[in-house]
Amino acid sequence: MIRIKVWKITQILYYLAVVALAILVLVLLAGLWKGSTDHQSQPSGQPASGVVTAMAAPPEGGGPGGQALEEETLETRQTGAQRLLRSFFYTRSQQAARAEQKREQNVITPASNLAGCLRNLLGLTEDPASFLTLCMPQLNFGPAQAAAAKGDDTQLALTTSAQSGQGDGQNADDSAEHGIVVEIATEQEEPQQPAQAPAQGEGEPYMLVYHTHTTEAYTKTEANTYADGDGEYRTTDNNYNVVRVGEQIINGIVARTGLNIIHDTTNHEPPKHGTAYVRSLQTMENQKAAHPSLEMFLDVHRDAYITGERAAEYNGQPIAQIQFVVGTGEGQTGAGFSVKPDWEKNYALAQQITDELNRIAPGVAKPIRKSTSRYNQHVSNKALLVEVGHNKNTLEETLAAADLLSEAMSNVLNAQRQG
């Protein structure tokens, strides 16, 4: 009798599992069909709502590419399967947004719960608590968890390959080989208003200095201490992070060249550090549209200390080292981005500055790091990413290096203008 009861229970569970699986399949098929019809009905002049991007996890300490995620267009790389996939997730995100509105009004429908469960079952959300909040709405995890379940303004991530961080401090950013992400925004986000300092120098703006990872900071000292931001070696106080370093570089260049330089101090990290390059690209494009005279773009970061010498030496004092990073946009698989940087020209400019730095202070500049990522350097053939120091350097050591960098850049820029 015991065997019969066990068999019956097992059989019931088996049939329940089959029915649940069948329902999932039907819902997926219905979503694909509805998504494809919605996509076909969309006016051809409107841009597609999803963009394929690539992302990678950061090493400890951060750096220029930690969790960086850069937009890659689908104009030349989109297949029929990708179009269906995008349409499906676009439809799902629209349903999720409507479900969220209903949840805010305390109206929760079975359809909205099922859509949320499906996203979790497919691995499209990062917070395990969101599975419970969507599938069992009776459980209340509070506003923070509800925001996580919402998916950071309904941005969904589908990673198709293993995410990896460079353990040698390279800080992989946007290469397609690290994974594919489908980002969907059901509503256009309000653009961040740049907290930008006035342009300096004379004439039309020539250079934009900005910071993709704005809160990167340095080792605290008695003279320079700060409240930690989102983790150690990060702060939103611009007196102690890379924004302060950028200001030091600008002051030195303006004093030596008279060039008009814009310092955009917008914090590009919120709401998600991993999508900072998307927002810094928007800043670059906005500034370029407002100031067509802009030719040069400098993204100032700090590196993440892994191993080796902590600091160089100049005039008997420790000083942070400097390194330029140049992206080709090719990706490790060779596919990369449809719009690639003119990396040879970017590299040549970086090499000129590196050589001048080492002429002024031998050993202060490391060799250029060439990457298959892009770092938004497709915007100009004078687009550079520079790492000034690392998180184990002090702000004093880093500002001393920034002075040398401004001198070297000024010498190169003056020589170009005279030649």
pLDDT digits (tens, 9 = 90+) for 350-399: 999 999 999 999 999 999 999 999 999 999 999 999 999 999 999 999 99
Mean pLDDT of 309-321: 94
Both 91 and 238 in one domain: the answer is no
- Report the pLDDT value the prediction gives residue 28, as an integer from 0 to 100: 76
d(CA 2, CA 17): 23
Mean pLDDT of 190-195: 48
Determine, yes or no, domain membership for 379.
Answer: yes
Determine, yes or no, domain membership for 191.
Answer: no
Determine, yes or no, domain membership for 190.
Answer: no
Percent of the chain with pLDDT strictly greater than 90: 47
- Residue after which a domain boundary falls, among 184, 213, 247: 184
Both 95 and 142 in one domain: the answer is yes
d(CA 139, CA 67): 31
Mean pLDDT of 173-177: 40
Both 318 and 414 in one domain: the answer is yes
Q: Mean pLDDT lowest for which of 107-111, 263-267, 317-321, 386-390?
A: 107-111
- Residue after which a domain boundary falls, among 164, 184, 204: 184
Both 145 and 14 in one domain: the answer is yes
Cα torsion 370, 376, 381, 382: sign: negative
Both 130 and 52 in one domain: the answer is yes
Determine, yes or no, domain membership for 26.
Answer: yes
249's CB contacts (< 8 A; 6+ apart) are 209, 298, 300, 388, 402, 405, 406, 409
Both 206 and 301 in one domain: the answer is yes
Band of residue 92 on the pLDDT scale cut at 50, 70, 90: low
Q: Which amino acid appears at position 287 of this protein?
A: Q
**For the chain, what is the mean pLDDT?**
72
Both 310 and 400 in one domain: the answer is yes
- Do 326 and 343 contact (CB within 8 A), yes or no? yes
Q: Residue 348: give its domain's CATH number.
A: 3.40.630.40
Determine, yes or no, domain membership for 257.
Answer: yes
Number of domains forming the structure of the chain: 2
Both 141 and 243 in one domain: the answer is no
Model confidence pLDDT, tens digit, residues 209-237: 999 999 999 999 999 999 998 889 999 99
Both 139 and 165 in one domain: the answer is yes
Both 346 and 394 in one domain: the answer is yes
- Residue after which a domain boundary falls, among 157, 184, 211: 184
pLDDT > 80? residue 133: no
- Report the pLDDT value the prediction gives residue 108, as an integer from 0 to 100: 40
Crossing angle of helices 80-104 and 110-121, in 10° steps, is 130
Cα torsion 256, 254, 207, 282: sign: positive
Residue numbers of the domain that contains 256: 196-418
- Report the pLDDT value the prediction gives residue 218, as an integer from 0 to 100: 97
Determine, yes or no, domain membership for 189.
Answer: no
Cα torsion 284, 288, 290, 295: sign: positive
Residue the block writes with tokens 């980002």: 183
pLDDT > 60? residue 38: no
Both 118 and 205 in one domain: the answer is no
Band of residue 205 on the pLDDT scale cut at 50, 70, 90: very high
Determine, yes or no, domain membership for 3.
Answer: no
Mean pLDDT of 21-34: 77
Determine, yes or no, domain membership for 1.
Answer: no
Both 82 and 56 in one domain: the answer is yes
